[in-house]
Each structure stands twice: as structure tokens, then as C-alpha cells.
Structure 1
Amino acid sequence: MTNNLDDETEPIKDLKIVLQSVKDELLEKLKIVVAVETEEIKNSQKQIAEKLQSIEDAVSKMSILSNNSSNAAPESNRFILKHEFKNLNKMEDFDGDYSGDVVCCNATWWIGLERMDDRFTFYISFETEQRNMSIEAKLTFKLIGYNNVTKIMKRCFRWRENTYDTLELEDIEDGGQVPDNLTLEVEVEILKITGFKKEKMRAFDESQKDVSDVVLVVQDTRFYVSKMVHIHLFHL
């Protein structure tokens, strides 16, 4: 009789062991799923925080620019034009050479050299399609290889219809003492810009309130956007 009871309890013990094993396995899988989802939530929150911070930084920069009533250019509006002019002794009247272009502040800049009446004239040119725009700039230039001449001057470059604005930097007489190769270097610092207009690609102010369903607030500034734009923004 005792043997029969033992035989009946053995399957029950085995079943309990199997159930406990399945339970433990499911619990481990659940822990893994929870850990993965928690990490995804943390990453998502981090991405949202980074996007909001980038928007806040952009708003801060726009605020600084809008409060700058003098239109003074930021320090980043500084660049250098440099070009080596070769074989000057082979140049004849009306011959010339010029550097590559640099585009800054919606304008194209370059430096050049022209030979005329036994004289070498070094110049800087400015061209823009922005009608009525003018740029005040500080120029620091030097001729490397010719007494290392260095000069500083200011000039207001202006839009000109169907042509460009040119400033003469240096004029040297060809008396046989001009080196065969000369390098001109000009550092341009933008001081002031007037007449520059930039169209807004999209408005986010209260004029969009009726067609928006999400409002983002950054530094007390409200941005009225749609959910589709909002979702796209945080998936960039």
C-alpha cells in the first residue's frame, strides 16, 4: 500500500519542479523585457531633452540677434582671402589674376591683381544679388614677399546693379624691383550689415494657433506646431 502512494506522489513532485522551472524562466524573460523597455524609455527621454535643449539654444541665439539694434556682425563673420600671384614679370597690360571665391553674408568675395600702364594693382571685390544691401567691413591686408606691407582700412561695400563693388588695396609701379611671385592676404571682418532680408520658411507664432494641435514652450516662448511636425522633429 505504501509503495502505491509513493508511486502517485512522484509525478506530482515532477510536475511542481516543471512548473517552478517554467515560472522561473518566464520571470527571467519578463525581467529582460522590462529592462529593455526601461532603457528605451530612458533613451527616448534623453533624445527629447537634447532636442528641447537645441531648440532653447536656437531661441536664445535668435533673441540675442533681435536685440542687437546696431546689426553688428557676430565674431564668426570673419574670413581670410589669400592668393599667390605668379609670373608677374611675364604679365602685360590688361593681364590679371584672381583668387577663388569666398561666400559670406549672402555675398561673394575675392581678391585679384591687374597690370595696367606698368603698374600692378591689387584689389578686393564684393558681389551680391541682395538688392540695396551694404556691408561695412574692416580689412587687414598684407603683401607677403614685397616689404611685407601691412595695412588696415574700413570700407562699406554696396550692392551694384549688374556689376560688383571693388576696392583698390595697393598699387605698385613695375620698376623692375617687383618680385616674380607675390602673395596677397586679406582678413575680412564684417562689422555691420544693412538691407539684408531673409524670408521666414515657416511661422510658429500665434498666427498658426488655429491649425496647430501641439504647443511647445521654450523660455516662455510658445511654438504652435502640429503633431506630425512634432513627431518628425523628435525622429530627426
Structure 2
Amino acid sequence: MNHLIISQTCVCEYCNTVVALLSMTGKEFTLKYEFENVGELEHSQSLSSPEEEYFGVKWKIRIHKWNEILNLFLHTNLSVNQEIQFDYTTKIFSKNKKKISLESGSGVMKVSDQSFFCDLIDWKTMEEEYLNDGKLEVEFHVKITEMIGFPKEELRSFGEEMKQFSDVVLKIEDRKFYISKLYLASQSPYFATLFMGKFQESEKSEIELKDVNPDDFQCFLEVIYAEDAIDDDTVERILQIADMYETPLAIKKCEKFLIKKSKMELKKKLELTEKYGLEESKKAYQKPI
């Protein structure tokens, strides 16, 4: 664990009331929050930022006064048998943004210990150098190195962290997918009509999709974004969505998997071949596999 104070000229405007996403590369994200009325905290009192969800986990920052020390914590909502290992960097900004209290290190979060203590600063120093009219600006960058006990890992994220790269949100049940209209339309006549046609949906920034499972749709999107999401457990569900949304690329990839890699029984392969009109599969199955 490394802790130091550095000087830096700030060239950015920071949000005063929300946790913000700064960057996302792989499993990385940054929480940022400006706490208010920090100077009024008494011994053993705390303030927390709003929760934000990344990679299926809810995260928040908490500051805590213990005697004359300011403590900084990271909180999650892990469930039984789940564990997250991560690297982190924390920043506490001075009132004139020219000085930063900086700490970096590694941590482990488990259900038995859902808060991670990572930073502290003398309360008097905090008041004199960092507190700005009762407000304290804190940043927490997390790089996840391993997630244990979670469902099958998503190969590509379409969550809120991709908002800056998207121009439409597809809502399925209680889950939202942030995607590019142009890219999805280029793969699917169905979505081309939905996004570019003369329908009310074409003007909406959020569109709800019916009769589809959000986990299956995640796999479908991964396939058309060139991820290797097809296996014997997912191929039928991906075919169903690809057929529903008229997506030749996804259908072709599923067909190739069935011919070359699938360990399914021949009867099941023939069933899928017939149901979805897989011409190459029909030819392949006329010969011994």
C-alpha cells in the first residue's frame, strides 16, 4: 500500500452530486463523489455516496470519522461464496485542486467483510487543506483482477459503463443494454427497421424488447460483436434470438459451431438444423460426422 501527497493542476470540472464513471478498460471503473457537510461529522459518524452497479456488483464510497482521523472505505453487496480481488487508487482533492492525497494498493472483498478500508488522513489536515466550504471530493479507481463465485463471465459489457459509446438503450425486463444503433442495424434488418424506419421507436433513446431473456440477449450481442460466446449451452438460445431478429451473422456462427465443435447428439443437431433452416448443416449431416 502506497500513500503520498502530490501537487497537480486540475483542468477538469467535477460533478458535485453524483458518482461518475471516468474510464473503463476491461474491468476498470472510477467512482467519484463530492461529500457535503463533512465538517459537521462527529466521532464514529459516516457519509456514503449513492450506489453504482458495475459488473453485476453494487459499489459505493463511505467516509468515516474516528476520533480525529478521516477514514475512507469501499463497499459492495457480495453474496455468499463471492469474492473480488482488485487493485485500486484513491484520491482526495484539496480545495484548490492543486494537491491530491493519493493512495494505491491491492485488496480483497468478501461477503464476510463487505467494506474495504483503504485510506486515512488527519482530520485537522483534512479541514485545513481539503475541505471546501464543507465539501470533500473523493475519487476511487478500481481495477478488478479476479471475480470468484459469480455466474458465467460476460465477454463484453453492454452496461451503463458503455453509455458514452452508445446512442440507444435496449431494456429487457429490469436490465438495460447500451448499444450503437448503427452497428446493430448493420447486422439485423429487424433493428434497421426499428431504428431507421418510420416508427415511434426510432425517435426513442430507450426501447423495451419483449419475449426475450436478458442473459440470452447478452450472449447474442457478444456473438455479433465478435466474441466467442457460443457453446453447447448457449447455441440454441442464440439461434432463437438471431432468428427472431433476422441476424445472418449470428446464425452463421452458430451453424459453424454445430458443424465443427458441438458435442451435442446428432438428433439434437438435426432438430436445430431443421428448425432454423441451416443449409450448410444439412449438407454436413448427410455425411458421417
TM-score (norm. length: structure 1): 0.52
Deviation (angstroms), 1:216: 2.1
Deviations 1:31-62 (A, max 9, x none): xxxxxxxxxxxxxxxxxxxxxxxxxxxxxxxx
The match for 1:220 is 260
1:80 paired residue number? 30
Deviation at 1:81, TM superposition (A): 0.8
Letter in 1 for 2:114: D
Structure 2 distance, partners of 1:139, 1:159, is: 19
Q: 1:121 aligns with which of 60, 71, 79?
A: 71
| Corresponding position: 1:89 with 2:39 | yes
**CA–CA distance in 2 between the matches of 1:220 and 1:228?**
17
Shift of 1:135: 1.2
Whether 1:181 aligns to 2:135 is: yes
Q: 2:118 aligns with which of 169, 175, 179?
A: 169
Post-superposition Cα deviations, 1:57-110, rounded to whole Å, max 9, x if no partner, equal xxxxxxxxxxxxxxxxx9421111111112222222233211121223332211
Q: Is 1:132 aligned with 2:172?
A: no
Name the CA distance, whole Å, in 2 between partners of 1:185 and 1:229: 52
Alpha-carbon distance, 1:127 to partner:
2.0
Question: Among residues 40, 54, 60, which one is paired with 1:110 in the alignment?
Answer: 60
Matched residue type, 1:193: M
Q: 1-side partners of 2:58 and 2:122: how far apart? A: 29
User: Paired residue for 1:230?
Assistant: 276
Q: Say whether 1:195 aligns with 2:195.
A: no
Question: Which amino acid in structure 1 is aligned with residue 276 of structure 2?
Answer: H
Alpha-carbon contact 1:77-1:190 (below 8 Å) kept:
yes
Cα separation, partners in 2 of 1:165 and 1:227, compared to 1, 3 Å: same
Mapped to 1, the partners of 2:78 and 2:56 lie a distance apart of 7
- The residue type paired with residue 155 of structure 1 is G
Residues 85 and 217 (structure 1), Cα distance of their counterparts in 2 relative to 1, 3 Å cut: same
Aligned in 2, Cα 1:82/1:216: closer, same or farther, shift over 3 Å? same
How many angstroms apart in 2 are the aligned matches of 1:142 and 1:193? 24
Check conservation: 2:45, 2:64, Cα contact below 8 A: yes
- Alpha-carbon distance in 2 for matches of 1:228, 1:128: 43
Q: Contact 1:106 / 1:128 at 8 angstroms: preserved in 2? A: no
Matched, 1:145 2:145: no
Number of equivalenced pairs: 149
Q: 2:103·2:119 contact (CA, 8 Å) conserved in 1?
A: no
Q: Normalising by structure 2, what TM-score?
A: 0.43
CA distance in 2, matches of 1:185, 1:81: 6
Percent of aligned positions with the same letter in both sequences? 16
Deviation at 1:174, TM superposition (A): 2.3
Query: Does the 8 Å CA contact 1:83/1:184 hold for their aligned counterparts?
Result: yes
Residue aligned with 2:276, SS: helix
Residue 229 (structure 1) shift: 6.3
Contact 1:83/1:98, CA 8 A, preserved across alignment? no
Q: Which amino acid aligns with 1:230?
A: Y
Q: Which residue of 2 aligns with 1:205?
A: 232
Counterpart CA distance in 2 for 1:177 and 1:140 is: 23
More helix by share: 1
Structure 2 unaligned runs (5+)? Answer: 1-23, 154-214, 220-229, 237-250, 278-289
- Greater Rg, structure 1 or structure 2? 1
Q: Which residue of 1 aligns with 2:107?
A: 155
Query: Which ranges of structure 1 fall in alignment gaps of 5 or more residues?
Result: 1-73, 232-236
Q: CA RMSD in A?
A: 3.6
The answer (yes or no) to whether the contact 2:78–2:114 under 8 Å persists in 1 is: no
What SS does structure 2 have at the residue aligned with 1:217?
A: helix
Assess if the C-alpha contact under 8 Å between 1:134 and 1:194 holds in 2.
yes
